[in-house]
Amino acid sequence: MGKEVYFDNHATTPVDPRVVEAMLPYFTEKFGNAASKSHRFGWEAERAVETARRQVAALIGAEAREIVFTSGATESNNLALKGVAERYAGQGDHLITALTEHKAVLDPCRALERRGYRVTYLPVDREGLLDPDDVRKAITPRTILISVMYANNEIGVVQPIAEIGRIAREHGVLFHTDATQAVGKIPVDVNRDAVDLLSLSAHKMYGPKGVGALYVRHRDRQVELAAQMDGGGHERGVRSGTLNVPGIVGLGEACAICQQEMPQEAERLRRLRDRLKTLLESGLEEVYVNGSMERRLPNNLNMSFLYVEADALLVALKDIALSTGSACTSAIPEPSHVLRALHLPEGRAQSAVRFGLGRFNTEEEVDYVAARVIEAVTKLRELSPLYELARGGSPNASGPS
């Protein structure tokens, strides 16, 4: 008992020891500023940054010069949305996104609305998927940007990105995708998917926190951005600030490892995820998967345990790191905006738990977690009068009436 298990890999991932190893010299002997042009220390740092730029680009089918380093996906999303909105304000004032986006897209959209832009928030179906036709219909002559996430951070569903990309291109509208949960987990290619801007983050793919990148199309179409951070003119003037060299080296190494190991790792995680699902479904009744099972990240499972409050379940499983959807900011537990957008049947959203598997999880852990979840759900249901009623029995009469 008391064994700790980490199944919250959509929130963040541990740094791969190989990534740590690659980063270490850049804190000590190779500490130079990549912008120093007149000595070995600067050149060494710049060389490392350019290697990382190629590693990031290679993972998503981009060119090195199309990669802008940032502090993470939140900054990348802000730079993409606000940067495009400001730069192309002369051509339009309308953006299209989805209701199930991460807060790091929704909040910049709200900020743009306060500045006078208009934003269409498209609904999703019960599986969590966007209909590309809805995107097409939402486009107006004033539309300058479509932003749709690649894979959802709560329910793991993978949106029809290539189809949306094609529609955006047909209409001459720029297309951004928050691919933070997809890059390194499933094949992402900015050319196949007709993506113009793409956000990614190191700490969701076994790299360090506080570093990420924005892909900005340059190869066949010069996408321009209004800088959101002014200063020394780093990153071709788009993102000023001394580069986080150790972090960038870590991001590059994390990308190279993902590229190398993705096919085997995705398969292994899919097998573990499916095993977890099968164990839970055979050990419990009234459990339901939220979001499409067909179009889904291999490492994600989001499951509702009817008649059980997800928060109570997480308390009962304190030594297992799980999540009830996205971190709630208010004191009142409320179903996340993603689960609400699915219009799930009664009781489903409140009982939903997210399982996020990762590189360092084992089959033994899957079996352990499944057993603990089954045990805890069974116990909590025994205490639930609703469950008794639903089963046709009388409410538990052992408590005070």
Using CB under 6 A as the binding rule, the residues of this chain from 292 to 331 that contact ligand PLP are none
The residue (of 76 and 384) whose beta carbon lies closer to ligand PLP is 76
Rounded Cα gap, residues 310 and 114, in angstroms: 35
Residue 273 interacts with ligand PLP (CB under 6 A): yes or no: no
Rounded Cα gap, residues 128 and 255, in angstroms: 28
**Do 380 and 312 touch, CB atoms closer than 8 A?**
yes
H/E segment holding residue 174:
strand 174-178
Residue 244 interacts with ligand PLP (CB under 6 A): yes or no: no
- Phi, psi (rounded to 5 degrees) for 34: -60, -15
The residue (of 104 and 157) whose beta carbon lies closer to ligand PLP is 104
Of the candidate spans 36-44, 70-78, 245-253, 338-346, the one that interacts with ligand PLP by CB under 6 A turns out to be 70-78
Beta strands at 118-122 and 300-305: parallel, antiparallel or unpaired = unpaired
Shortest spacing between CB 211 and ligand PLP, in angstroms = 8
Contacts of 354 (CB under 8 A, 6+ apart): 8, 10, 154, 155, 300, 301, 302, 322, 323, 324, 325
- Label residue 324 exposed, middle or buried (CB < 10 Å: 0-12, 13-18, 19+): buried
- Tell which one of 45, 52, 68, 73 touches ligand PLP (CB under 6 A): 73
Using CB under 6 A as the binding rule, the residues of this chain from 132 to 151 that contact ligand PLP are 149
The residue (of 22 and 157) whose beta carbon lies closer to ligand PLP is 157
* # binding residues, ligand PLP (CB under 6 A): 13
Query: Minimal CB distance to ligand PLP: which residue?
Result: 72
DSSP letter at 64 equals G
- Tell which one of 32, 208, 212, 298 touches ligand PLP (CB under 6 A): 212
Copy the structure tokens of residue 386: 């609703």
Rounded Cα gap, residues 71 and 49, in angstroms: 14
Nearest to 313 by CA among 395, 389, 396, 381: 381
The residue (of 290 and 384) whose beta carbon lies closer to ligand PLP is 290
Q: Which residues are catalytic?
A: 328
Shortest spacing between CB 258 and ligand PLP, in angstroms = 15
Of the candidate spans 72-80, 83-91, 264-272, 384-392, the one that interacts with ligand PLP by CB under 6 A turns out to be 72-80
Q: Is 138 helix (H, G, I), strand (E, B) or coil?
A: helix
- Phi, psi (rounded to 5 degrees) for 70: -135, -170
255-282 as b/e: b if 16+ CB within 10 A: bbbbbeebeebbebbeebbeebbebbee
The residue (of 160 and 385) whose beta carbon lies closer to ligand PLP is 160
The residue (of 78 and 304) whose beta carbon lies closer to ligand PLP is 78
Residue 46 interacts with ligand PLP (CB under 6 A): yes or no: no
Rounded Cα gap, residues 244 and 207, in angstroms: 13
Shortest spacing between CB 201 and ligand PLP, in angstroms = 3
- Tell which one of 104, 109, 158, 245 touches ligand PLP (CB under 6 A): 104
**Do 238 and 219 touch, CB atoms closer than 8 A?**
no
Residue 74 interacts with ligand PLP (CB under 6 A): yes or no: yes
Shortest spacing between CB 7 and ligand PLP, in angstroms = 16
Shortest spacing between CB 14 and ligand PLP, in angstroms = 15
Shortest spacing between CB 236 and ligand PLP, in angstroms = 21
The residue (of 146 and 370) whose beta carbon lies closer to ligand PLP is 146
Using CB under 6 A as the binding rule, the residues of this chain from 170 to 209 that contact ligand PLP are 178, 180-181, 201, 204
Copy the structure tokens of residue 373: 């979840």
Q: Which residues bind ligand PLP (CB under 6 A)?
A: 72-74, 102, 104, 149, 153, 178, 180-181, 201, 204, 212
